[in-house]
Amino acid sequence: MTTVNIITQGRRKRRPFGSQGVGTAAPYIIPALLLYGWFLLYPMLDSIRLSFYQWSGFRTETPTWVGLDNYKRLFTEDAVFPTALLNSVIWVVLSLILPTVIALLMALGLNQKIIGRNVMRAIFYIPAVFASITVAAMWRWIYNPTLGFVNQLLEAVGLESWTQSWLGDPKFALASIFVANIWQAVGFSMVLFLAGLQTVPEELMEAAKLDGANAWQRFRAVTVPALRPTTVVVIILTIINSLKVFDLVVGMTGGGPAQSTQVLALWSYTQSFTNHQFGMGGAVATVLLIVTLAIVIPYMAWSLKGEDK
Amino acid sequence: MTAIASSPQLATHTRKRPVDWTGIALWIALAVTALLWFLPLFLMFMTSVKSKADLNTSAMWALPGTWEWGNYADALDVGNFWVTAGNSLLIAAIKVPLGLAIAAACAFALARIRFRGARSLMLLIAIGSMVPIQIGLGPLFNTMLNLDLLDSKFGLILPYLAFGIPYQIFVLYGFFRGIPHELEESARIDGSGTFRIFWQIILPLAKPALAALFVLDFVATWNEYAMATTLLRSQSNWTIPLAVQGFSTQHGTDYGPLNAFIFMSAIPVLIVYLLFQRYFVQGALAGAVKG
C-alpha cells in the first residue's frame, strides 16, 4: 500500500506551496467546471425547478407553474411513489447487510495464504465487470418460469411445489432481483476490503498473538479498528449505488409486476419519459436528491475535514 | 456463508499445526462459495452453446446435445456486434483518457494551487460524484436536444465526461494532497513552471491511482445504460448495453445468441481488468482511505 503511505507522510505538511491565485488555477479547472456545470449540475437543478411545473416534456408545450402541487400529488395520490420509496429504502438496508458482510467474509478468507486464492478472487470479482443490464438479462433467464435454472433445479430435487414465477409474482420479484444484485455487487466491496486488510499492522497482530489473544479477540482489537476507514468507504459507496439502482430493475422487471419493484430512480424516469409528466418526474428526482444529500454531505464533511487538521 | 462466519480464525494467519481443521473448513467454505458464484457464468456458457430445441428439452446445466457454436455467429448478426462494440469502444477510447486528463488537471489545481474558494469548489464537485444520474436525466435530455446532440455518440461523450470526472477529481485530489511538498519546492527552485510540475512531477507519482481510475472508468463507460438509452435512438448509434436490451422483443428473447453476445461483449472489460489488475487493488483505496 505505497499509496496510503504517501498520503500519511504528506499530511504532515498541509498548506500547498506557493500562492499563485485564481489566474494560475483557471486553465486547469475550467474544462472540468464547464462540463460539470453544464451537463451535471444544471440538469440536477433544472429537475428541482421542473418539479414546480406541469410539463409534458414536448417542446411545443410551455411548462405551467403549479407550485407544490406535484409534491402534494406525490404524497397523496401517487400510488406508486410510496412503493418506490419503500423499495429504495429496503434496497439500501439490505445492501448494507448482505453483500457487505459477504464481501467482508470473502476478503478475510482470501487474505489468508490459501490454495487457489487468485482464482477465487477472480471468480468473485468477475460479475462486477459485467454491465448491470447484461446481468439482468442473464438472471431473467435463470428465473425463467419454465426453462430457467431455479425452477428446473427445484423440480429435479422434488420440490415442484416451491417453483414460482420468480419475477412475475409481486411477493418474490424484488427479492429475486436482489439476489442478482448480491451476485454482482460483492466483488467490488471485496476488493476494497482486501485493500483495507493490507493496512492491518502486522506487528500489532504479532504482539496480540504473543499476549495470548485468541483469534476472535485479535479480530476485534486489531483488524476491526484498522478496517474502519475502509468500512466507511464501502458503506457510503454501497448506499450511493443502492440509491442509483436502475439497470437491474429495468432489465429484469421494468418495475413490474404491478409496479411492485419500482424504485425511486426508475419511477422518476418512468414519470418523465413514459408518462410524459416531467414535473412529477422532477418531484421524484428531488426527493431522491434530498435522500442522497442527507447521506453524502455528512460523509463529505468527515472526509474533507481530515485535510485541515 | 455461515461456515466462514463461525470461523474466527480467518482474521489471522493460522499457526503451523499437524492438521489445521479450521483452515480446511475455511477453505471448503470459500471453495463452495466460489463454485456458487461461478455457477451463473457456467449456466450462461451452457446456454450460449445450445440450440433452441436443446434449451427447450434439456436441463440448463446439462451439456449440449450438439454444440451450437452458430449462436455466436447469430449474436454477431442479431446484436450488430461490430457496430455496437465499435461505438462503445470509440466512446470509451475518447472519453476515458480525456476525462482522466481533465480530472487530473482540475484535481491538481484544487490540491496544489492555492486560491480562494478551492475548498468549496472541491466540496461541490465531491457531492456531484455521489448523486444518482437519474435525477438529472429529464433536463439532460432537453439540454442535449437544444444542443442538437441527441442521438449522437459523440454528443453522448459530453455528459459521460461530466458524470465521470467528479469521482476522479475526488480520488486524485486526496492523492495529490499527499505528495510531499519538498519535491515541488525543489523543482520550483530549479525554475520549473506550474505546468512542468504538474506534468513531470505530480502526474508520474499518481500512476497507480490513474491506472485504477482508468480501469473503473473504462468498465463504467463500456457498461453505461441509463444515459445511453435516454440519449441514443437509432440502432447505428447503439452501444453494447442497448444491443443487449435489443435482444428482447415482443416475440420473446432468443437466449442462446443473447448469452453468446453477453460473453463476447464482456471480453474487452475483462482484458482491461486483467491488464490493470495489479494496480487496481492498490489504487482502489488511494483517495479514499487516509492514514
Average pLDDT over residues A19-40: 88
Domains of chain B in start order, with CATH, are: 2-68 (no CATH), 77-284 (1.10.3720.10)
* pLDDT on residue B240: 94
Q: Which chain B residues are closer than 8 Å to A39 by Cβ?
A: 140, 143, 158-159, 161-163
The per-residue pLDDT string of chain B (291 residues; one tens digit each, 9 = 90 and over) reads 444 444 444 445 555 556 778 888 889 999 999 999 999 999 999 999 988 888 888 888 888 888 888 889 988 988 889 999 999 999 999 999 999 999 999 999 999 888 888 888 988 998 888 889 899 999 999 999 999 999 998 999 999 999 999 999 988 988 888 888 888 888 888 888 888 889 888 898 888 888 888 888 999 999 999 999 999 999 899 999 999 988 877 667 888 899 999 999 999 888 888 887 777 666 655 544 433
Nearest to B38 among A109, A123, A268 (CB): A123
Cell of A29: 479547472
Distance CA A153, CA A125 (A): 25
Contact B59, A152 (CB under 8 A): yes
Nearest to A43 among B8, B139, B241 (CB): B139
Nearest to A39 among B10, B132, B140 (CB): B140
Nearest to B284 among A195, A218, A273 (CB): A195
* pLDDT on residue A22: 82
Are B27 and A114 inside 8 Å of each other by CB?
yes
The alpha-carbon gap from A244 to the nearest alpha carbon of chain B, in Å, equals: 5
Domain boundaries, chain A: 68-305
Q: Which of B134, B137, B278 to mutate to test the interface with A (most CBs of A within 10 A)?
A: B134
Q: Which chain B residues are closer than 8 Å to A247 by Cβ?
A: 225-226, 241
Cell of B221: 463507460
Contact A269, A246 (CB under 8 A): yes
Greatest mean pLDDT range, A55-59, A303-307, B219-223: B219-223
Among the ranges given (A32-46, A77-91, B239-253), the one the predictor scored with the smallest mean pLDDT = B239-253
Distance CA A63, CA B61 (A): 55
Instruction: Name the CA dihedral angle for A46, A52, A54, A57, rounded to a multiple of 10 degrees.
Output: 10
Of B144, B106, B112, B139, the closest CA to residue B125 belongs to: B106
The alpha-carbon gap from B165 to the nearest alpha carbon of chain A, in Å, equals: 7
Distance CA A216, CA B147 (A): 60
Which residue in chain B is spatially nearest to A184 when comparing CA positions? B37
Average pLDDT over residues A183-206: 89
Nearest to B103 among A16, A32, A42 (CB): A32
Residue A289 has pLDDT above 70, yes or no: yes
Q: Which chain B residues are closer than 8 Å to A218 by Cβ?
A: 11-12
Of A39, A71, A37, A41, the closest CA to residue A53 belongs to: A71
Strands B248-249 and A64-65: unpaired
Distances (CA, A) of A54 to A41, A49, A192, B137: 22, 11, 44, 17
Q: Which chain B residues are closer than 8 Å to A140 by Cβ?
A: 253
Which residue in chain B is spatially nearest to A198 when comparing CA positions? B282
Distances (CA, A) of A137 to B191, B242, B256, B262: 58, 12, 12, 9
Q: Which chain A residues are closer than 8 Å to B222 by Cβ?
A: 131
* pLDDT on residue A150: 92
Burial (0-12, 13-18, 19+ Cβ within 10 Å), A23: exposed
The alpha-carbon gap from A171 to the nearest alpha carbon of chain B, in Å, equals: 23
Are A152 and B131 inside 8 Å of each other by CB?
no
Q: Which chain A residues are closer than 8 Å to B142 by Cβ?
A: 46, 57
Nearest to A152 among B60, B178, B283 (CB): B60
* pLDDT on residue B87: 95
Q: Which chain A residues are closer than 8 Å to B265 by Cβ?
A: 131, 134
- Residues A102-129: tens digit of each pLDDT: 999 999 999 888 888 888 988 999 999 9
The alpha-carbon gap from A124 to the nearest alpha carbon of chain B, in Å, equals: 6
* pLDDT on residue B291: 32
In three-state secondary structure terms, A53 is strand
Cell of B85: 462494440
Residue A59 has pLDDT above 70, yes or no: yes
Are A278 and B41 inside 8 Å of each other by CB?
no
CATH of domain A68-305: 1.10.3720.10
Are A269 and B223 inside 8 Å of each other by CB?
no
* pLDDT on residue B282: 61
Q: Which chain A residues are closer than 8 Å to B241 by Cβ?
A: 131, 133-134, 247
ipTM computed for the complex: 0.85
Are A40 and B14 inside 8 Å of each other by CB?
no
* pLDDT on residue B250: 65
Cell of B160: 459521460
Q: Which chain B residues are closer than 8 Å to A7 by Cβ?
A: 174-175, 177-178, 286, 289-291
In three-state secondary structure terms, B234 is coil
Among the ranges given (A7-21, A167-181, A274-288, B140-154), the one the predictor scored with the smallest mean pLDDT = A7-21
Residue A76 has pLDDT above 80, yes or no: yes
* pLDDT on residue A283: 95
Q: Which chain B residues are closer than 8 Å to A137 by Cβ?
A: 244-245, 247-248, 253, 258, 262
Nearest to B158 among A39, A105, A251 (CB): A39
Distances (CA, A) of A239 to A91, A299, B239: 9, 11, 28
The alpha-carbon gap from A258 to the nearest alpha carbon of chain B, in Å, equals: 19
Distances (CA, A) of A88 to A91, A96, A241, B42, B83: 5, 12, 11, 31, 36
Average pLDDT, chain A: 87
Which residue in chain A is spatially nearest to B173 when comparing CA positions? A304
Distance CA A141, CA B48 (A): 12
Distance from the Cα of residue A209 to its chain's centroid: 37
* pLDDT on residue A7: 39
Half-sphere exposure of B170 (CA within 13 A, CB side): 23
Q: Which chain A residues are closer than 8 Å to B233 by Cβ?
A: none
pLDDT tier at A307, thresholds 50, 70, 90: low
Q: Which of B184, B289, B290 to mutate to test the interface with A (most CBs of A within 10 A)?
A: B289
Contact A69, A53 (CB under 8 A): no
Of A203, A202, A236, A205, the closest CA to residue A220 belongs to: A205
Which residue in chain A is spatially nearest to B52 when comparing CA positions? A147
Distance CA A118, CA A110 (A): 8
Angle (deg, nearest 10), helices A2-10 and B255-284 = 40
Distance CA A206, CA B256 (A): 54
pTM of the predicted model, to two decimals?
0.86
* pLDDT on residue A300: 77
Are A4 and B184 inside 8 Å of each other by CB?
no
Q: Which chain B residues are closer than 8 Å to A246 by Cβ?
A: 132, 134, 225-226
